[in-house]
């Protein structure tokens, strides 16, 4: 009975079974937060434990891995079934979390984060499942709930995990993530029906390795260049290797009939959507990385910023969670009236205002909480609108790979701006009382970069809205 539900027709209205499915998918995406975002709570502790200042590698390595995992698992979901691949994703993330929990050094911890990064795929696989089991109109709302509803749990978990980490060490967060991943794998297997709609094809593992490895090389250059010199041997080798891998990926992908991402057939609406998302979500993620760093510095140090002693970090990181919780469903409901392109534009406008507001927020706690909330609302609206807009450009049998494209650009944007921001902070650091700290110049330059990215996204989203209005029909991406 369970296996045939999807084939019986999509849900056109709310009912008990749909509510149960949505609840499980919301919990799945709560697991994604425990894997990707929760470690930000203990970022300073992890830096001290491993004796490193490589903030971006500790924070962004999981999202970096998501660039490789997303298209690989998205295509696998279309070929082998969405539920089966979602369960596999949860198990891989669990294994990575356990490696991180017992890692004796940074060189073991980072590979664990790369495995844990598979959790990124759980988000877009949930969206692909929703678009298959729901009629289009209700799907827009459900996508907003599924992608943002876990924020309800995140609000409480922020305070709990902060206390647990203080008592048992940062490793407890990874043990919790592993436990949640196992529990969700069992629930998905028991509750979510397997898709009956599958697409024959082969999985381009080599293409995924080239894409992920190439991006890792380029970003490794950005991360290490400020420490070893931009023309140092190791950074230049990383840059050359990464550029070569990415070039090879583009060349091979343009020729393979079963490539993970067919660059030749991405139309203008989807291309604009992806560019807006890579800039908008990347800016948000970089600001989220900045919050724990400025909250660890006191304003009394005279650096021009600092929130230490003004309030708890858990509240600062919970504020975006509240915003996400509201922004996602609101964007989904508005999309049924004005379309996802307009809701995406609204999200970008709010994000621009919120990022500019952080110029004041890095030194005044109440302002930081408000604009952190607004940033969360922004990312909830961007995620929901991006998935709804991109999903509408693909046929049912290609939802997995098209949804993965959204996750790929979200991961790329997050990783790039995280690394760029970390490099800026490192290159402008100053010594105060014998301790190296981030300078005010570095912090405000960091925020300026995020603000400029949002401004560029605003220009692109205006073009997208105009193109959407002028199109009577959205082109199909059946060849992806």
Residues 149 and 186 in one domain: yes
Which residue, 98, 100, 84, 114, is CA-closest to 185? 84
Residues 296 and 366 in one domain: yes
CA atoms within 13 A on the CB side of 56: 27
Helix or strand holding residue 436 (H, E) = strand 435-437
Q: Is residue 328, in this structure, part of any structural domain at all? A: yes
Q: Is residue 478, in this structure, part of any structural domain at all? A: no
Residues 272 and 408 in one domain: yes
Which residue, 404, 443, 368, 357, is CA-closest to 74? 404
Q: Is residue 476, in this structure, part of any structural domain at all? A: no
Which domain does 100 fall in, by range?
Answer: 2-203+260-470
Residues 284 and 336 in one domain: yes
Using an 8 Å Cβ cutoff, are 180 and 31 in contact? yes
Q: Which of 191, 225, 259 is the last residue of a domain?
A: 259
Q: What are phi and psi of 261, to 5 degrees?
A: -130, 115
Would you state the pLDDT for residue 5?
43
Q: Is residue 480, in this structure, part of any structural domain at all? A: no
CB-count exposure of residue 435 (10 Å: 0-12, 13-18, 19+): exposed
Q: Would you write out the chain's pLDDT as a tens digit for each of its 480 residues?
A: 344 344 456 787 888 888 888 989 988 888 887 787 777 778 778 888 888 776 666 766 777 777 778 888 888 888 888 899 999 999 999 999 999 999 988 889 888 988 998 888 888 888 888 888 888 888 888 888 888 877 767 666 767 777 887 788 888 889 988 998 999 999 999 888 887 777 777 777 888 788 777 877 887 777 666 566 778 887 889 899 989 998 998 888 777 776 767 676 677 888 899 999 999 988 988 888 888 888 888 888 888 888 888 887 778 877 887 888 899 889 999 988 888 999 999 999 999 999 999 999 989 999 999 999 999 899 889 989 988 888 877 666 677 777 888 887 887 787 788 778 888 888 888 887 777 888 989 999 999 999 999 999 999 999 998 887 766 444 444 444
Residues 296 and 279 in one domain: yes
Question: What total number of domains does the chain contain?
Answer: 2
- Torsion angle defined by CA atoms of residues 158, 163, 164 and 170, in that order, rounded to the nearest 10 degrees: 80
Residues 233 and 103 in one domain: no
Q: Is residue 452, in this structure, part of any structural domain at all? A: yes
Residues 136 and 175 in one domain: yes
Residues 447 and 457 in one domain: yes
Q: Is residue 409, in this structure, part of any structural domain at all? A: yes
Residues 160 and 265 in one domain: yes
Residues 456 and 354 in one domain: yes
Give the Cβ contact number of residue 252 at 10 Å: 14
Q: What is the CATH number of the domain that holds 82?
A: 1.20.1250.20
Helix or strand holding residue 431 (H, E) = strand 430-432
Using an 8 Å Cβ cutoff, are 422 and 56 in contact? yes
| H runs (alpha helix) in 149-267 | 151-168, 171-191, 205-228, 233-253
Residues 191 and 242 in one domain: no
Query: Model's pTM, two decimal places?
Result: 0.77
Residues 168 and 178 in one domain: yes
d(CA 324, CA 378): 7
Residue with the two structure tokens 């992608």:
147
Q: Which of 259, 278, 298 is the last residue of a domain?
A: 259
Can you say how many angstroms the Cα of residue 162 is from the centroid of all Cα atoms in its chain?
Answer: 22
Q: Is residue 116, in this structure, part of any structural domain at all? A: yes
Q: Is residue 212, in this structure, part of any structural domain at all? A: yes
């Amino acid at each position: 009975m369970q296996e045939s539900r999807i084939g019986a027709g999509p849900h056109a209205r709310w009912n008990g079974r749909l509510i149960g499915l949505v609840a499980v998918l919301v919990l799945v995406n709560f697991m994604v937060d425990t894997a990707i975002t929760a470690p930000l709570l203990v970022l300073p502790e992890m830096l001290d434990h491993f004796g490193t200042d490589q903030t971006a590698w500790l924070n962004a390595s999981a999202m970096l891995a998501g660039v490789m995992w997303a298209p690989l698992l998205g295509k696998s979901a279309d070929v082998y079934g969405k539920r089966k691949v979602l369960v596999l994703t949860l198990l891989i993330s669990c294994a990575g979390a356990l490696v991180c929990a017992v890692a004796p050094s940074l060189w073991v911890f980072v590979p664990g984060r790369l495995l844990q990064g598979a959790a990124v795929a759980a988000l877009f696989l949930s969206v692909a499942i929703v678009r298959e089991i729901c009629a289009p109109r209700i799907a827009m709302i459900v996508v907003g709930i599924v992608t943002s509803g876990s924020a309800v749990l995140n609000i409480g978990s922020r305070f709990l995990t902060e206390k647990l980490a203080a008592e048992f060490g940062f490793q407890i967060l990874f043990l919790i993530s592993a436990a949640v991943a196992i529990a969700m794998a069992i629930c998905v297997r028991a509750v979510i029906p397997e898709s009956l709609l599958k697409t024959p094809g082969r999985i381009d593992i080599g293409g995924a390795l080239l894409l992920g490895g190439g991006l890792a090389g380029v970003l490794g250059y950005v991360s290490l260049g400020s420490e070893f010199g931009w023309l140092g041997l190791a950074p230049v080798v990383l840059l050359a290797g990464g550029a070569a891998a990415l070039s090879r990926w583009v060349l091979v992908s343009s020729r393979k009939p079963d490539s993970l991402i067919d660059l030749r057939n991405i139309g203008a609406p989807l291309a604009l959507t992806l560019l807006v998302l890579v800039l908008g979500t990347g800016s948000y993620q970089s600001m989220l990385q900045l919050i724990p760093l400025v909250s660890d510095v006191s304003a009394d140090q005279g650096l021009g910023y600092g929130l230490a002693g003004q309030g708890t970090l858990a509240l600062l990181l919970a504020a975006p969670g509240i915003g996400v919780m509201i922004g996602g469903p609101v964007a989904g409901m508005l999309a049924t009236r004005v379309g996802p392109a307009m809701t995406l534009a609204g999200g970008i406008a709010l994000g621009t205002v919120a990022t500019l507001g952080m110029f004041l927020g890095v030194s005044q706690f109440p302002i930081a909480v408000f604009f952190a909330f607004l940033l969360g609302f922004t990312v909830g609206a961007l995620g929901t609108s991006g998935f709804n807009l991109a999903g509408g450009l693909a046929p049912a049998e290609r939802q997995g790979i098209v949804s993965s494209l959204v996750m790929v650009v979200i991961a790329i944007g997050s990783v790039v701006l995280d690394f760029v921001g970390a490099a800026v902070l490192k290159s402008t650091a100053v010594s105060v009382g014998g301790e190296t700290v981030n300078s005010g110049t570095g912090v405000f330059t960091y925020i300026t970069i995020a603000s400029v990215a949002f401004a560029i996204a605003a220009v692109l989203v205006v073009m997208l809205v105009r193109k959407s209005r002028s199109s009577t029909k959205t082109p199909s991406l059946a060849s992806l």
